Amino acid sequence: MLIYQHSRSGRRATAQAPLQTADLSAIPKRFRRQQRAELPEVSEMQAVRHYTRLSQQNFSIDTQFYPLGSCTMKYNPRGCNSLAMLPEFLARHPEAPADHSQGFMACLYELQEILKEVTGMQAVSLSPAAGAQGEFAGVAMIRAYHDARGDKARSEILVPDAAHGTNPASAVMCGYRVRETPSGADGDVDIEALRRLVGPQTAGIMLTNPSTLGVFDRNIEAIATLMHEAGGLLYYDGANLNAILGKVRPGDMGFDVIHVNLHKTFATPHGGGGPGAGPVGVSERLQPYLPVPMVAREGEHYHWLTEESCPESIGRLSTFAGNAGVLLRAYIYARMLGGEGMERVAEYATLNANYMLKRLTDAGFDAAYPERRATHEFILTLQRQAKELGVNTMDFAKRLLDYGFHAPTTYFPLQVPECLLIEPTETESREELDGFIEALCRIKQEAEEHPEQVTGAPYNLPVKRLDDVRAARELDLVWRPDNN
């Protein structure tokens, strides 16, 4: 039910201050609205109940296990949020002079230093306001590097077929042509195919390691050597950093530039539609091109690095220092964990994924890469169930909702048919993991004995199967009460 359907003319929230008619005489008539705004007219109680009911119908990390692969839906400590909301942070005006912002700038400076250490890069800029913006900044720096050397022939960026869709999009936004590199049967980049694609036209490669296939690419050093010998650079998509935090560093693998999704790994919820933060880290040769502003320290004093001090910078991605609230939460989280805690994040994220993979394959599910150990996530393929029982991955996913679990990622990565990409994260208890495993096993049994029970799911939710085809074909973003 929409809130407009509760609306009755003249109804208002009586708990608020008495109604006053505002004096609009100072606003010229031509700027004033001629018709009433089409806002719902409801009591305060109705508004509270309406939105509370909606929130109860939602699945969220606060209410359900949420193993959405490639999204790292983990618990974000409330303490990080409380500290980031201290009034001294919240009330700081973005144009406040550096002298009045030393505490805030000290946090950002230390976060830059922590991210340098975690990623093994030479320098970090925090300003990109999301993962995709971090990617854009990263590729723009690769471009700036080649341009500064007068190396104009490099027109291509290589992207593995398992990559997130944002990778090729970022490369195209920076004016590059995208060449897709295939994955081998074991999930690693097919290095012979890569060798054929690399040449003087190659500006760089964008890799996620561990990859979206849930495996750590064992050839990464060979790939780095191959690229560097050809004069290309390596871009690291930090989407799966949770798996390697404190264990292995992209800088040590040979990467030249990286972006980190603070809103996945560092205490800001992911998948909520923002805000995010996608800081970029670079090796020495890309340092001059980092986006501004950044924070520098001289003695005990912090100051901003801007266009004047960094003339070769690719420029600004946002007016100020990125999403300050997200950066502060990340800083607090990193300080709470320390180096030792970060290692535990990677260890438990990986242990939980491997525990689930083992139990599920023992129960008769097919792993997409059976000979490989999982990283922080793994892929099952339900191709056999789809073929033999007529119950596909989407049916399993919908039925999981009835059992009270958010479904894993479905049908991604694209090259694994009928796949479920499962990422438990480090913050779930063993009981929670077992509950999910048992639910999947029961659904498999249902599919074998009464397939229609699964293909007809969900049964316990306010809405059943949605018509996503019609929603995409007849896109309607402007809902109005009068034409419905």
Partner 1 sequence: MSDIPNELRYCRTHEWVSSAEDGVVTVGITDHAQDQLGDLVFVELPEIGDPFEAEAECAVIESVKAASDIYCPVAGEITEVNEALMDSPELVNDDPYGDGWLFRIAITDEADLDSLLDADGYQEVLDA
Half-sphere exposure of 94 (CA within 13 A, CB side): 9
Annotate each residue in 449-478 with x if it binds partner 1 (CB under 8 A) or - if it does not, as one string.
-------------------xx--xx-----
Closest residue by Cα to residue 127 from 285, 294, 258: 294
Closest residue by Cα to residue 225 from 248, 191, 201: 191
DSSP letters for 362-410: HTTPEESSTTS--SS-EEEE-HHHHHHHS--HHHHHHHHHHTT----EE
Please, which residue, 116 or 179, has the CB nearer to partner 1?
179
Please, which residue, 37 or 469, has the CB nearer to partner 1?
469
Q: Give the nearest distance from C-beta 59 to partner 1 in angstroms.
A: 20
Please, which residue, 472 or 477, has the CB nearer to partner 1?
472
Closest residue by Cα to residue 231 from 250, 253, 256, 260: 256
Please, which residue, 104 or 176, has the CB nearer to partner 1?
176
Annotate each residue in 372-411 with x if it binds partner 1 (CB under 8 A) or - if it does not, as one string.
---------------------------------------x
DSSP letters for 254-272: T-SEEEE-HHHHSSS-SSS
Q: Give the nearest distance from C-beta 296 to partner 1 in angstroms.
A: 42
Please, which residue, 179 or 335, has the CB nearer to partner 1?
179
Element of type H or E holding 338: helix 324-362
How many CB atoms are located within 10 Å of the residue 130 CB? 23
Number of residues that bind partner 1 (CB under 8 A): 7
Q: Are strands 419-422 and 378-381 parallel, antiparallel or unpaired?
A: antiparallel
| Site for partner 1, residues 113 to 172, rule: CB under 8 A | 165
Here the contacts of 353-362 (C-beta below 8 Å, separation 24 or greater) are 353/214, 353/377, 353/378, 353/422, 353/423, 353/424, 354/378, 355/430, 355/433, 356/422, 356/424, 356/433, 356/436, 356/437, 359/437, 360/437, 360/440, 360/441
As to burial, measured by CB atoms within 10 angstroms (0-12 exposed, 13-18 middle, 19+ buried), residue 201 is middle
What gap in Å lies between CA 236 and CA 205, rounded to an integer? 9
Rg (CA), the chain: 25
Please, which residue, 78 or 473, has the CB nearer to partner 1?
473
Helices 430-449 and 324-362, interaxial angle, to 10°?
A: 50
Please, which residues have CB within 8 angstroms of residue 241's CB and are 6 or more apart in sequence?
260, 261, 264, 265
Annotate each residue in 64-103 with x if it binds partner 1 (CB under 8 A) or - if it does not, as one string.
----------------------------------------
Please, which residue, 180 or 438, has the CB nearer to partner 1?
180
414 binds partner 1 (CB under 8 A): yes
Please, which residue, 89 or 411, has the CB nearer to partner 1?
411
What distances in angstroms separate CA 81 from CA 273, 279, 403, one per listed residue?
17, 19, 31
Please, which residue, 161 or 432, has the CB nearer to partner 1?
161
Q: Give the nearest distance from C-beta 243 to partner 1 in angstroms.
A: 25
Q: Give the nearest distance from C-beta 453 to partner 1 in angstroms.
A: 23
DSSP letters for 47-84: HHHHHHHHHHHS--TTTS---BTTS------HHHHHHH
Please, which residue, 163 or 324, has the CB nearer to partner 1?
163
Please, which residue, 165 or 199, has the CB nearer to partner 1?
165
Half-sphere exposure of 15 (CA within 13 A, CB side): 7
184 binds partner 1 (CB under 8 A): no
Please, which residue, 190 or 426, has the CB nearer to partner 1?
190
Q: Give the nearest distance from C-beta 407 to partner 1 in angstroms.
A: 15
415 binds partner 1 (CB under 8 A): no
As to burial, measured by CB atoms within 10 angstroms (0-12 exposed, 13-18 middle, 19+ buried), residue 289 is buried
Q: Give the nearest distance from C-beta 331 to partner 1 in angstroms.
A: 37
Q: List residues binding partner 1 (CB under 8 A).
A: 165, 411, 414, 468-469, 472-473
